[in-house]
Amino acid sequence: MSEQARVSHPKEPLLSTDVEGFDSLSELALDMRSSWNHATDQVWRQLDPVLWELTHNPWVVLQTVSREKLQRVLADPAFRKNIDDLVQVRRHAAEAPAWFQQTYPQSPLSCVAYFSMEFMLSEALPIYSGGLGNVAGDQLKAASDLGVPVIGLGLLYQQGYFRQVIDQDGAQQALFPYNDPGQLPITPLRRPDGEWLRLEIALPGYSVWLRVWQVQVGRVKLYLLDSNDAANYPAHRSITSELYGGGPELRLKQEMLLGIGGWRLLAALGVKPEVCHLNEGHAAFAVLERARSFMEETGRTFEVALAVTRAGNLFTTHTAVAAGFDRFAPALIEQYGAGYARTQLGIPLHDLLALGRQNPNDSSEPFNMAYLAVRGSGAVNGVSRLHGEVSRHIFLPLFPHWPQDEIPVGHVTNGVHMPTWDSAAADDLWTQACGKDRWLGTAETLEQDIRRISDASLWRFRAAARKSLVKYARERLSRQLAVSGASPEMVDGAKHLFDSNTLTLGFARRFATYKRPNLLLHDPDRLLRLLNNPQRPVQLVMAGKAHPADRAGQALIQEWMHFICRPEARPHVVFLSDYDMLLTEQLVHGVDVWLNTPRRPWEACGTSGMKVLVNGGINLSELDGWWAEAYTPEVGWSLGDGKERGDDLAWDAAEAEALYDLLEREVIPEFYTRDEQGIPGAWVTRMRESMARLTPRFSTNRAVREYIEQYYFPAASAYRERAADKGAIGLQVVNWQHALEQKWAALRFGEVTFETHSEQHVFEAQVHLDDLDPKAVRVELYADGVMGGAPVRQEMKRVRQLAGASGGYVYCAAVSAARRPADYTARVIPHYGGVAIPLEDPRILWQR
């Protein structure tokens, strides 16, 4: 593929740029830091309160306000001083040494390139769908807070993810409004001479021009690639039109533009990251382009370049079922990838396809993007402890004959960016208890600090939050009904629904069958009895989208809508349409209990419930994803027995009954059992424990620090080592692998014996290596872990050569006699300093 930049002259929107002070307002409006640091909110509210409340988009407000209004407010000395002060604070925050610089002044890490298909930063930039974008956006924000050197790379979608409308029959309708770049908080990325940076990506038969946009996320920059360039054919302008839309061919082109175009953008900027972090496998083509660029710099082959560059690549998988990975037909990869493989990578199509297949020689096997990511990375991680276990099972086929516990997938449990998801009242509460800088570094003291807040203060805080949610739900539902054509009586009735003193449950997420959003509807009559209890009523706020192609998910929404239409249900249940970031914020601020009912283990992590923690909400969730490691009886409630049941409908029914019982016997009584001051003591105690124990633990501060220490630093060091001297170590690794490939089949075990002495078993194993260098392998005794413990891997030392056997050696090791000798098995695995086994070489030979 080829790349170059051409001069372009985009027409700038008509703005009041000649008004003195406008540049300062523009600087504030274009920094997404305002989406979590709300110091500038009052500025935009003063300029246009109605537009601000509707959009929460400072850039739209700034473009819409009249020149006269701007001149008038900027002429006010107090307003102008406030703006100048805010600009100074912003610049200081961007330039002052942060936690990362203070903690790691001699860091080997200068840049992480973070690739993701979606980023959820603000409702002002609607290029996200859900959980994946939530993680990406929150991690960029935390990187900004902590000073971590990260650059984000994604796509600018002309339509983004669909917007949802519920019609009068309760059916979901999908709308695709246009994302006008001029109204988004983004700017064209220009070279120093003013030229708009554009990339040319050659696809079969034509070139696609990519415009590049820049998003300022505090200290961090996010670059978005956009195919809607005037130089492109009309069909190609729409490649980046829709998130998760279209068919396989469009998805493949999007992923090639993201991975290949994203890495080429870094080269055009002169940025050389040590670490490439793939947030899911969508951007896995970046590992190919990174290797190609190393080939171009050093003259090495693709095989050597991949051995060098993969050491600096990290693949984070979010998928809990193998069917969830993107797969492409071989013919489609041939159409779009054969030329790139041959002319740019110098490899045949077969070798490219082999990187994305379990069986490289199965010509019918699809190309799996997750397999490409695994084979192109130096480390792989899941997004919760349980998901790490699930992922080791999913990727087991890539490592034949290896025990599942040793499949090379670790985990970093996700967290959420607490300053994004806390309410203004929660921010005040935490500030008083823990200080303003509580999320700008470590969080060791937060647990003890938050425990000092009195029961009365916590309960007042929660009551006010619930009241605010009720007000918001009424307003949003009345607008929603009016748009759908409901009668004036229904629209007016929505303005009086709910009670701010009633226990409020929240359920909001993507409507997919595995998430079981209709578990509460298993017994509608029992649910109605719970909702309508005159002494202890309950109200439920729901939201969520089903993918436009997911008919089963849409049917689940319609089932809820029909239930809500029942006269007995209407006062107690609302479904708020068009689940977006703004709605999410309101829900997690105000609900008392957050419900989550997926089929275990199909929820990789699930971050929605983490967002209520900082706001004093309590989780009631299936023991899946993050809740499987977070739950204790003191902090919330659990559903299920911690076992996998698949899609067993009988088990679904049993869990539905358990959910009703839990609500009826524990949750609802605890909320309504009050002391003489009207405070539910047990509830507030549980709420405080949830806030204190879980909020710091499931914040992005902790998650990003774990990525730095467990993955970024090791990857940066490994990459630097392999890249030195034009990849000399990479060449040595490839030569070692070639030797293994040629000679592995001849390896065999001879006799394996043992003797027991006192408290030890002493094993001796005869191993025939023929002419393979003994340093190229490691001989071990292996025993499976006991009671969930780690397996035993005891290296066996080479003690002597077998008499009369060329290449035959005796290896010896002693292990504890606490276990039976039969528990231990000898094995041979590849060994080379600094090489991750089995990730980089999955060969293994077991004693028969």
3-state class of 573 per DSSP?
Answer: strand
Residue 703 lies in a domain: no
Position 10 scores a pLDDT of: 38
Per residue in 452-480, is it b (16+ CB within 10 Å) or e — as a string? ebebeebbebbeebbebbbebbbebbbeb
Final residue before a domain boundary, out of 95, 118, 133: 95
Distance CA 457, CA 515 (A): 35
Residue 734 lies in a domain: no
Final residue before a domain boundary, out of 41, 63, 95: 95
Distance CA 296, CA 143 (A): 31
Position 11 scores a pLDDT of: 37
Angle of helix 285-298 relative to helix 262-269, nearest 10 degrees, comes to 40
CB 760 within 8 A of CB 816: yes
781 and 685 assigned to the same domain: no
336 and 252 assigned to the same domain: yes
The string of DSSP letters for 699-724 reads BHHHHHHHIIIIIIHHHHHHHHHHHH
Token pair, residue 224, equals 């978005």
CATH number at residue 782: 2.60.40
CB atoms within 10 A of CB 433: 18
3-state class of 398 per DSSP?
Answer: helix
571 and 639 assigned to the same domain: yes
319 and 443 assigned to the same domain: no
Domain that holds residue 658: 420-698
| Radius of gyration, alpha carbons of the chain | 29
The residue written with tokens 């008004």 in the block is: 19
355 and 490 assigned to the same domain: no
Position 13 scores a pLDDT of: 45
3-state class of 292 per DSSP?
Answer: helix
Determine the Cα angle at 97 with ends 96 and 102, to 5°.
Answer: 160
Backbone angles phi, psi at 524, to 5 degrees: -60, -35
Token pair, residue 836, equals 């991750």
The residue written with tokens 């082109």 in the block is: 253
520 and 653 assigned to the same domain: yes
Per-10-residue mean pLDDT for the chain, 848 residues long? 37 60 95 93 95 93 93 94 95 93 94 98 94 97 97 96 92 93 95 94 91 97 97 93 94 97 97 98 98 98 98 97 95 96 97 97 96 98 97 97 97 98 96 92 87 96 98 95 90 94 96 94 97 97 95 96 95 96 96 96 94 98 97 97 89 96 98 97 98 97 97 98 97 97 96 93 96 96 91 96 89 95 97 97 96
CB atoms within 10 A of CB 488: 9
Query: Quick one: how many helices (H) and strands (E) in the chain?
Result: 32, 28
Position 787 scores a pLDDT of: 86
Position 14 scores a pLDDT of: 46
Which helix (H) or strand (E) element contains residue 3? none
Residue 369 lies in a domain: yes
- Which has the closest alpha carbon to 286: 255, 311, 252? 255
DSSP 8-state code for residue 309: H
The residue written with tokens 């019918």 in the block is: 364
CA diameter of the chain: 98
The string of DSSP letters for 762-824 reads EEEEEEE-TTS-GGGEEEEEEE--STTPPPEEEEPEEEEEPTT-TTEEEEEEEEETTS-GGG-
CATH number at residue 676: 3.40.50.2000
Contacts of 127 (CB under 8 A, 6+ apart): 118, 119, 133, 154, 155, 156, 157, 160, 161, 179, 224, 243
249 and 388 assigned to the same domain: yes
Position 16 scores a pLDDT of: 61
Position 400 scores a pLDDT of: 96
CB 656 within 8 A of CB 520: yes
Distance CA 539, CA 502 (A): 7
Position 20 scores a pLDDT of: 87
CB atoms within 10 A of CB 772: 18
Position 533 scores a pLDDT of: 96
CB 602 within 8 A of CB 321: yes
CB atoms within 10 A of CB 425: 17
Laid out side by side, the sheet with 573-576 consists of 573-576, 538-543, 503-508, 593-596, 618-622, 636-639
588 and 641 assigned to the same domain: yes
Token pair, residue 163, equals 């917007």
Residue 705 lies in a domain: no
78 and 127 assigned to the same domain: no
| Cα atoms found within 13 Å of the Cα of residue 326, Cβ hemisphere only | 25
Position 206 scores a pLDDT of: 86
Distance CA 344, CA 338 (A): 10
The sign one gets for the Cα dihedral 579, 583, 586, 589 is: positive
β-bridge pairing 187-188 and 206-217: antiparallel
332 and 218 assigned to the same domain: yes
CB 194 within 8 A of CB 200: no
Token pair, residue 538, equals 């309950």
Position 442 scores a pLDDT of: 77
Q: How many domains does the chain have?
A: 4
DSSP 8-state code for residue 341: I
The string of DSSP letters for 251-278 reads HHHHHHIIIIIHHHHHHHHT---SEEEE
620 and 693 assigned to the same domain: yes
Token pair, residue 112, equals 């992480």
Contacts of 73 (CB under 8 A, 6+ apart): 46, 47, 79
The residue written with tokens 């999410």 in the block is: 584
DSSP 8-state code for residue 541: E
CB 329 within 8 A of CB 366: yes
Distance CA 89, CA 412 (A): 33
| Cα atoms found within 13 Å of the Cα of residue 545, Cβ hemisphere only | 21
**Which amino acid, 492?**
D
Final residue before a domain boundary, out of 95, 119, 138: 95
Residue 15 lies in a domain: no
3-state class of 580 per DSSP?
Answer: coil
Residue 690 lies in a domain: yes
Residue 727 lies in a domain: no
Residue 4 lies in a domain: no
- Which has the closest alpha carbon to 391: 185, 601, 184? 601
Distance between terminal CA atoms of the chain? 49
429 and 401 assigned to the same domain: no
